[in-house]
Amino acid sequence: MAEDLFAEAEKAKTEGNAYFKDAKFAKALAAYSKAIELSEDEDDDDGLDSLDSAKPKNPSIQIYYANRAFCHIKMENFGSALSDSNKAIEAKDDFSKGWYRRGTAMMALGRPKDALRDFTQLCRLAPQDKDARDKLKQCQKQVTQERFAMAIGTEKTAPISQTLDMGAMHVDSSYEGPVYKTGACTPEFCKELMAWQRQEKSIAKKYAYQIVLDAIEMLKGVSTLVDIEVPDDGEVTVCGDVHGQYYDLLNIWELNGVPSEDNPYLFNGDFVDRGSFSVEVILILFAWKLAFPRHLNLARGNHETRNMNKLYGFEGEVTKKYDEDLYQLFCEAFCLLPLCHVINKQVFVVHGGLFSKDDVSLDAIRRVNRDCEPPDEGLMTEMLWSDPQPGRGRIPSKRGVGVAFGQDVTENFLETNKLKMVIRSHEMKEEGYEIEHSGKLVTVFSAPNYCDQMGNKGAFIRLDGKTMTPKYTSFNAVPHPNVRAMQYANPMLGQLFGMS
């Protein structure tokens, strides 16, 4: 019987590997879970070996856990990846992939010191592996950088927006692109910038700086929770994650019209990272925001943060296309983005989700200090990171941050604040959107064929001002220049080992 179970488990693992190779991570996850369940059945099958029960009878169990951990990493379920990595290490403490997966999960969770210990152990187990040594060096470098940043952070330095000398920044005489003027950002300029960037051309550095500086000044005047008013005869469009997919963003505007007073938009976070045109995305969004301050709304996502930008590409992209100072300026702007919006006092729109406690009021949200990097816990972090789950109550988040909340949590929040529904983003959906919690919660995701490999559709939602009834539009990805997703990501997230 044990041999039959082992063979079935190996078959499930092989199926998982095939799904993983095709980037079908959810199906791969299910296959690895089946292999693990079969192995656990095998452990329970033979009571005669109880004295040796500490050792799994399936010699591949650590492989199944490590492979499933890798799936979780690809799906950004870092909490679950950490749990599976621990189980792989427990099953076989000299299994190098277990330590690599755990180190990667620790890095993604913003715990580089813990990751450093794991990569150090990895190098002990694989001393001749060049990739392992490279990962250790990268991790050591990040820990050193963070220590330095903490040291200089104690010296009350002024924000970079207050120290820049824009007068010393000049535009090359050969530049033929759009010209930005402070206080005069028009729809015509925005359309010129859209077309210029479509050709893979960068706006002059001085103008890029000035756009972000002006966005910072504008965002200083908004609140943590922004109320949006839509007239009865009007509509508003809500978009989810864009993730640096500039050409798909342009396609949204081709399908649904560019922003205007009569065609307002709310972009619900995760503008940057992963896609390799994040600079173009955030500059055009800031430009439209400057052109229509009340009709182009932007919310912060979990990827508008330093930890995510360091790993998933935005920091590398900005420093490659421009320089470090512009990246620091973007970070300053991100800290000023609102955390959520309420449309017509009926629809709550937030990037991630709801909270670890009941009876959270809109007034409590308004009091949240958003001008910082997200803390380890609290309302701000939960708004950026939480996800819905199909059951009731709350369970630990598969991401390792925030909480997974059920329908009763959604209903309590809506009843407490006399609201109609929640719109959130933060998760890829096959059709670009998904309706949950008996229609009281909707996820919208606007990055089709996510990371050039997921095959999903994107979507946006239109709400009419009179009834706030959602209308959904799904759309496919459009071609983009030959620059792969994650081009600028930290190599720490690269694949160290192949699947087993």
Active site residues: 303
Look at residue 277 and give its three-state secondary structure: coil
* Counts for the chain of helices (H) and strands (E), in that order: 17, 14
Question: What letter would DSSP give residue 57?
Answer: S
In this structure, are residues 265 and 237 in contact, taking their beta carbons and an 8 Å threshold? yes
How distant, in Å, are the alpha carbons of 60, 283, 309, 316 from that of 320?
43, 15, 14, 6
179: its two tokens:
């010209």
Of 350, 367, 321, nearest to 424 (Cα)? 350
Residue 392's identity, in one-letter code, is: R
Q: How far apart are CA 64 and CA 250, in angstroms?
A: 41
Residues 6+ apart with CB under 8 A from 118: 99, 100, 102, 103, 106
Q: How far apart are CA 251 and CA 242, in angstroms?
A: 11
In this structure, are residues 379 and 364 in contact, taking their beta carbons and an 8 Å threshold? yes
Q: Which helix (H) or strand (E) holds 150?
A: helix 130-153
Residues 6+ apart with CB under 8 A from 182: 210, 214
What secondary structure, in 3-state letters, does 190-237 show? HHHHHHHHHCCCCCCHHHHHHHHHHHHHHHCCCCCEEEECCCCCCEEE
Q: What are phi and psi of 469, to 5 degrees?
A: -85, 125
How distant, in Å, are the alpha carbons of 124, 170, 329 from that of 215?
48, 20, 10
Q: How far apart are CA 183 and CA 290, in angstroms?
A: 8
Q: How far apart are CA 132 and CA 146, in angstroms?
A: 21
